[in-house]
Structure 1
Amino acid sequence: MNFRFLLVLSLTPSIVIAQQASESEAASLHPKTDDSQCLILPPSAPRKSQATMGLNNNHIWIESDQSDAQMGKEAHFSGGVTFRQGPRHIYADEATVNSESQQLSAKGNLTFEDPLVTITADSIEGQMKNNSATLKGAQYWLKGQQVHGDAKQLEITPENNLILNGSSFTTCPPESQSWVLEANKIKIDSKEEWGEVWGAKLKIGDVPVMYVPYMTIPVSDKRKSGLLFPKFSTSTINGVELEVPIYWNIAPEYDLTFTPDYMSNRGLLSKVEFRYLMPGEQNNNQNGKLNFEYLPSDDHLQGNPNRYLYHWEHQGRINENLRVLTNFTDVSDNNYFTDFNSDVQQATDNQLVRVGELNYLNNDWDLGLKVQDIKVLGLSDKPYQVMPQLSFDYRFPELSNNLNFDIYSEVTNFAHDEDTHNSATRLHIEPRLLLPLYGPAGSFTTELKLYQTNYWQRNGLKSLGLEKSVSRTIPSIRLHGQVNLERQTQLFDQNYRQTFEPQIQYLYVGYQDQSNIALYDTAQLQEDYYGLFRDRRFSGLDRIADANQVTLGLTSRLFDESNSEKLKFSFGQIFYLRNSRVGLSNNELANQPSSSVLAAELDAHVYNDWYVSSEVQYDTKLNETRKYETTLDFRPEANKLFQLSYRFVRDLVNSNANTGDKVDIAQAGTRIAWPVKQNLYFVGDWYYDFKRKRSIESYAGFQYESCCWVARLSYHYRIRTNFNDNIATTPIDREQFESGIYLNFMIKGLGGSGNLGISDMLKDSIFNYRKPIYLTD
């Protein structure tokens, strides 16, 4: 028969010995690695005895197969020794406890475990009174992290910190240690969850690549000041480029990142990002960031101009009802985002919206105050500024028998930087009655509106043909009905449920001459399928187009037996009972058609992993396509994509050229993201312009990602968005295309600036962000 001896010690010399029958359990000394999740698991510990329940941290519990104890002095234990004091546990073949000196020594298949770390070692010498210990020949695993390593000697301090001498540090699985950080000494702070390293030598594939006398490393997701991984690239425009981000964790509510960005063809661009958090009560908090970027002298441009950017954004809740939002950006010149890799916006952005809002939100009404200024890069005509706008929105749902009432009102003051433009104050009131009727078979909505607007216009009115004071009252009636029909059908030996959802809308909007009102915030809206059922042709309020028209539309869907939508097809058209007499300009009112474009959209899961998406706008009067886009996707699983796409747009205004010329766009492309082998992915795309007969973008990138490091090598050739220069002393012939090679590398577990992923590579394309006009000009 096997016997196990249980020994409970307090910090006083008294000893209580108990005896219990049990089976001896041995701990595995090797961690288990789950390759699919990159999880590094420490050695499994023996099952803990329930007899320790109720003991405090001053008591010590010892359990073993055999025991030889001298009361009040020293005790020796052997055979499956288990030692517990509070959250700390030691498992060994044999151990000795000296009650007088409060010391513990153990060896043989030794495992130490506490909430922070699991350690296997040759031996341990511990001081029970102050909870310190020294382990020799140790291997350690930080719990909840990928971090593990070796140490000739590992010390556990009374504060539960770890001090490792002659040690190593890595986040790679034991069987595939791509990188290891070897150090003379490592101190891991259990409270701050960061490590200090002295005499560090970084090895990649057993090859030393870097020596650092002192550095800090993360052992959790907590922020820590230090050097982040650099980014390296070379391009035909900027030359060799090296970014070295430096992170400063100022306080829990503040941090700052300073990034020197050296470009051999331009000089040193300094970038600073400051982030802050303003905590409040009951989830009321505000946050924001400040960015400043500065290049004192651009060596690539004639005249060596200064280049700069500054940006501020802030948002949040002041209290339960009050919200605040600010966003302001300014740059030195029109081509700043084209020339530099800014931390604020993409190179394809051509509008800088500077806005400030303060909103009070209630259950039935909202009150808002707004100022706005839009800077359009590359355009000589500046938009109007909103200085300021006060809006009030009141809602009265269920006024009577499902009848809803709401009223929107605003008073806006429009200003302009140039004296040649007029300014104005606009008062707009828009009451609405809405009667929606819904049922399983369909819906019918009746909507009555009244647009009441008053303008008080100033400066240069006679030369522009404007009036000082204008009052405009326009009624609107919208009747919209939809019927839901469905049937069971069979296609390709498969059962489907097919729906037919015809809808009809009648829209009447009264007429009033508005040529005596300037355009302050109004533009043409898109004529896609869903736009056919809007009650407005223009954004903003300066033009309310009259209408007497009927819109017909039909949507049909296919659902499989699991009720998953496999196809959706919609098409529709507006039929004008009377031509509109209100336009943005008088020229567009001539030769009006009796109907709108025929707009259609298709989304289909064609077969297995093949998907089709298409959109067309067809002019039935001229028998020509105005706009057409289609994509064919093969998506068998995550991070696998093959796509073919084509887009065509007719008579698009070339606003970038500042001439008003119209251009046609016809472009085709392909995109692929595919694993080459385990952990190695390829992403590429290629786009061709049929009108200009040239390639406008090519991208190829390889990314390797293991459990402990990521590397990306990519090549990019793309057209550049070049606006008119407003900083050069002499005219500049800018490059039309740019090509470059980019290298990104990040070691997991040593800090980094952002994440590297396949989705980022798919987004690294001009087609994801640019409007079609900027793809060819």
Structure 2
Amino acid sequence: MLLLPVTGTAQQAPVCNLPTTEQPALPATENPAPGEETLVIEAGKIEATLGDRPQASMSGGMRISSGNRSAGADTAVYDPDSLALLLDGNVEYRDPNTNISSDSAVFSYAGGQIIFNGAEFQLGLSGSRGAAEKIAISQEGTLSLDEVSYTTCPPGSNDWLLQAADIDLDTSTGAGTARNVKLRFQGVPILYTPWLSFPLGDARKTGLLTPEIGSAGRSGNEISLPWYWNISNNYDATLTPRLLTDRGIQLGNEFRYLTERHEGMLQVEYLADDALYNDSRHLLSYQNKSQFANGWRNRIDFRQTSDSQFFEDLGGSLSASSITHLNRSLSFDYYGENWSFLGRVQDYQTIDDAIAADDEPYQRLPQMRVQGLWPNQALGFRYSLDSELVYFDRDVGVTGWRLDATPQVEWPVERSGWFVNPSLAVRHTSYELDNTLPGQRDNANRTLPIASIDTGLILERQVKSGGNLIQTLEPRMLYVHIPYRDQDHLPVFDTITPDLNLVQLYRPNRFLGADRVADTDQLSIGVTSRILNTSSGKELISATIGQARFLSSQGVRLPEQAIDATASSDYIAEMRFLLHDNLNFDVGHQWGKGEDATTQSEARLQYRPSSDRIVNLSYRFRRDSLEQGDISWSWPLSERWRFVGRYNYSLRDDKALEQFYGLEFESCCWGLRLVSRRHISTRDGTQDSSIGLQLVLKGMTSLGTAADKLLERGILGYEPELR
């Protein structure tokens, strides 16, 4: 076999094409056969002896390359018995994901394997590095290491170190496995396991995830040990046993799937024989979204729990403890060019024991909604139809069918700087009822004409001559006329009076839902002004104020609701300021007449000079309901230390709703979070406390509690520096 045809001199390195198998090399072609690779050897000087046992030595620096892989050394000797090159002196190996250096190595070009002795390595995917007595790297890109140490700390620092008898790293899949593993932190062993699997990058890998350890307050201490199952590329599951020392063992499972047309998640949690609750407890949750080829879509949303206190005891957050209803629905919808359809069945599980049976939401069994829109018709007219048929069911109270249909015609005219949109609609609603009270009709209907005209201007001017700031003035006016119809005999299935806001201000009906249509002769007037930077496109200031004026008295109301005899609505205003590139201020305010003029108000100030510095101040007020102040922050104390926290206080109740304080420490390759938290955990105001400690080994794992999730939820704009 012709091994090394040599040409050139030491000043011009020769190039040799070698086959990667024991078969003779084929003649060179422009397009090699599939699976064939070309091996290129370059050297400063090559001495070769041809014959039955060809021999060769290289000196003056040599390099072997094949595709995107290469190896180099000071000298090399060809061993004909093992069909290998023996590399010596400053040996280096490189591929897109790996860099290895050692004093000597053996390259078997027949099998495409390189074995390094006394080597150091770096992995490009994660920035990790290590050392091993022996490293074997295959043609497929897998690394086998014996007596190895591994870390993501930079050279000169071994703050954390993974030591193992042997480690296999597959850079193509981004996964590693190790045996007889010790994890050392600051030189102290903190973990031992006979076997460990870990990712090299973002690749998913079946195996145990990092346990979460912490204090669960009145549930005792807790430890969770999740196990991740990478079933396939589009299916996975996480099984999580959770020990609560005062309650027992809770088992959790989360199964996820993603296909071309379907995606969803199934979650099951079960706690057998809760020692404090004296019963078994569970949570079942299923969400699904499907997109079919014919344009139809499907959505499933189902949640079911064993008892009303499940989230309070086991949810672990203020938002979870405030849940009152769990949605359970199945829907199909279709959107065409002019038509759309929604079909749904919907139920709720009420988990707030304080809600009376006759105040629980109705089931929709079923709900069917058809909408149509035909824009740009003759003379610029636009036609639309909004219709709905629902059967409302409940154990207590009136039940039955409701048909609601609203055909509408509009004539929108839009020009540069102004628009006007007159509209005429007819809303018809009819009922077929069951379980009515004596004297009530089992059928009823209502038909109302609705006339409106919506118009507005958009004016702008330059703030300074030749400057890059412009100011806009955008007045808007909506007039609505709806005659009075007595509606006290109609049931109330799903209709409420929503809070007044700038969207509600320009809606024809002050009620939300079809059971009531407010009689009105009203004029909604508002104006918005903005200051814009034309160079950057940023909105520096935005201010809006509006009010509805009632030109006649109103007579339609919800049961047990007083008739609104006022001549106008509250004023509502919103302002937004970009005070500086890193300082924002938003405020919203609603007020009326009288001694207690303010109905609701909220304000928020955010100062964020950089990604790791943020302070939020906010205030919320609702008359006869709540008044809260909130401050949250994340601020560095030094180059490595950061102080984080939140304090949410109810001025109305004179108590803190949630407060947590924490410290974050970050070094080159690890970090630490310590967070102490106290919060309202139940609807009756019971408080709970916990302490969380999280150790983050960058590029490897984290140990302890998931404190980063609490900080992301509680501090607006928080970005974890530790990953």
* TM-score where L is the length of structure 1: 0.84
* Equivalent in 483, 507, 511 of residue 510 of structure 1: 483
The residue number in structure 1 matching 2:24 is: none
Match of 1:764? Answer: 714
Q: Is the 8 A contact 1:547 1:579 kept in 2?
A: yes
Structure 1 contact 337–345 (Cα < 8 Å) conserved: no
Q: Does the 8 Å contact 1:466/1:518 carry over to 2?
A: no
Quote the residue 1:613 is aligned against. Answer: 586
Which residue of 2 is the match for residue 67 of structure 1? 46
Candidates 622, 630, 639, aligned match of 2:603: 630
Superposed CA deviations along residues 558-611 of structure 1, whole A, max 9, x for unmatched, are 22463421111111110001122111125321x521100011111112245332
Deviates more, 1:328-337 or 1:112-121: 112-121
> For residue 430 of structure 1, what is the aligned residue in structure 2?
406
Separation in structure 2 between the aligned mates of residue 446 and residue 757 of structure 1, nearest angstrom? 55
Tell me: CA distance 1:124–1:343, structure 2 relative to 1, closer, same or farther (3 Å).
Answer: farther
The answer to whether residue 114 in structure 2 is matched with residue 136 in structure 1 is no
Partners of 1:342 and 1:328 in 2: CA distance: 21
The 3 A distance-change label for structure 1 pair 607 and 102 is closer
Q: CA 1:623/1:206 → structure 2, altered by over 3 Å: closer, same or farther?
A: closer
**238, 251, 265: which one aligns with 2:246:** 265
CA contact (8 A) 1:375 1:383 kept: no
Q: 1:494–1:697: structure 2 CA closer, same or farther, 3 Å change rule? A: farther
Do the aligned partners of residues 445 and 175 (structure 1) sit closer, same or farther apart at CA in structure 2, a change above 3 Å counting?
A: farther
Could you say which residue in structure 1 is the equivalent of 2:630?
A: 669
Matched residues in 2 for 1:294 and 1:246: separation? 16
Cross-structure match for 2:231 = 250
Matched residue of 1:431: which SS?
strand
2:564 corresponds to 1:585: no
Q: Which moved more, 1:474-483 or 1:552-561?
A: 552-561
Partners of 1:574 and 1:177 lie apart in 2 by 68
Contact 1:228 1:753 in 2 (8 A): no
Task: Note the C-alpha offset of 1:117.
Answer: 2.4
Aligned mates of 1:345, 1:564 — CA distance in 2: 34
Aligned equivalent of 2:308? 334
2:674 aligned with 1:713: yes
Instruction: Spell out the pairing of 1:140-219 with structure 2 (5 A cutoff).
Output: 140-157=121-138, 159-190=140-171, 192-219=173-200
Give the 3-state SS of the residue equivalent to 2:505 in structure 1: helix
- 1:5 aligned residue: none
Letter in 2 for 1:674: W
Partner of 1:16: 5
Structural mapping, 1:704-743, within 5 Å: 704-706=665-667, 708-722=669-683, 736-743=686-693
Among candidates 465, 473, 493, match of residue 447 of structure 2:
473
Task: Answer whether contact 1:429 1:451 (CA < 8 A) is retained.
Answer: yes
The answer to whether the 8 A contact 1:407-1:429 is kept is: yes
For 1:44, the equivalent position in structure 2 comes to none
User: Following the alignment from structure 2 to structure 1, what is the Cα–Cα distance between the partners of residues 437 and 554?
Assistant: 26
Q: 1:343 to 1:113 in 2, by over 3 A?
A: farther
Aligned 8 A contact 1:682 1:702 in 2 = yes
2:571 to 568, 586, 598: 598
Shift of 1:55: 7.4
Q: Is the 8 A contact 2:458 2:474 kept in 1?
A: yes
**Kept in 1: contact 2:125–2:200 (CA 8 A):** no
- Cα distance, 1:323–1:177 mapped onto 2, change above 3 Å: farther
Correspondence 1:22-101 to 2 at 5 A: 57-72=36-51, 73-98=54-79, 101=82
Tell me if the contact between 2:362 and 2:392 (Cα under 8 Å) persists in the aligned partners: yes
Q: Does structure 1 residue 415 correspond to structure 2 residue 415?
A: no
Q: Which residue in the other structure is 1:291 paired with?
A: 267
Deviation at 1:396, TM superposition (A): 1.4
* 2:94 pairs with 1:113: yes
Q: Equivalent residue of 2:450, what SS? A: strand
Aligned length: 695
Residue 498 of structure 1 pairs with residue 471 of structure 2: yes
| Structure 1 residues 753 and 764, CA gap change in structure 2 (3 angstroms) | farther
**Alignment partner for residue 363 of structure 1, among 337, 362, 376?**
337
What is the distance in 2 between the residues matched to 1:262 and 1:212? 21
1:744 and 2:694 are equivalent in the alignment: yes
RMSD: 2.9
Q: CA offsets, 1:607-660, max 9 Å, x none?
A: 4533221111101255611111112222212232223222221134xxxxxxxx
| Distance in 2 (alpha carbons) for counterparts of 1:355 and 1:87 | 53
Give the corresponding residue for 2:85.
Answer: 104
* Matches of 2:10 and 2:47, distance apart in 1: 17
Letter of the aligned partner of 2:143 in structure 1?
A: L
553, 570, 594: which is aligned to 2:526? 553
Structure 2 counterpart of 1:17, one-letter code: V
Instruction: Report the CA distance shift for 1:310/1:152 in structure 2 as closer, same or farther (over 3 A).
Output: same
Displacement of 1:316 in angstroms is 2.3
Aligned residue among 594, 609, 621 for 1:648: 621
CA 767–523 in structure 1, closer or farther in 2 if over 3 Å, else same: farther
Q: 2:513 aligns with which of 540, 543, 567?
A: 540
Contact 2:428–2:446 under 8 Å retained in 1: yes
Shift of 1:536: 2.0
Aligned to 1:396: 374
Aligned mates of 2:612, 2:432 — CA distance in 1: 57
Q: Distance in 2 between matches of 1:518 and 1:680?
A: 61
Q: Deviations over 1:471-490 (max 9, x none)?
A: 22111122111111223336
**Contact 1:52 1:61 (C-alpha < 8 Å) held by counterparts:** no
Offset at residue 440 of structure 1 (A): 2.4
Alignment pair present for 1:462 and 2:419 = no
Aligned residue type for 1:257: T
Question: Compared with structure 1, are the counterparts of its residues 23 and 611 closer, same or farther at alpha carbon in structure 2 (3 Å cutoff)?
Answer: farther
Whether 1:324 aligns to 2:298 is yes
Change (3 A) 1:467 1:744: farther
Unaligned runs of 5+ in 2: 14-27, 719-723
| 1:696 equivalent in structure 2 | 657
Unmatched 5+ stretches in structure 1? 1-11, 25-50, 653-664, 724-734, 769-777
Letter aligned with residue 103 of structure 1: A
Paired with 1:766 and 1:97, the residues of 2 have a C-alpha distance of 64
CA drift of 1:325 comes to 0.4
Classify the secondary structure of the residue corresponding to 1:306: strand
Distance 2:158 2:230 in 1: 30
Q: In structure 2, what is the Cα distance between the partners aligned to 1:690 and 1:637? A: 31
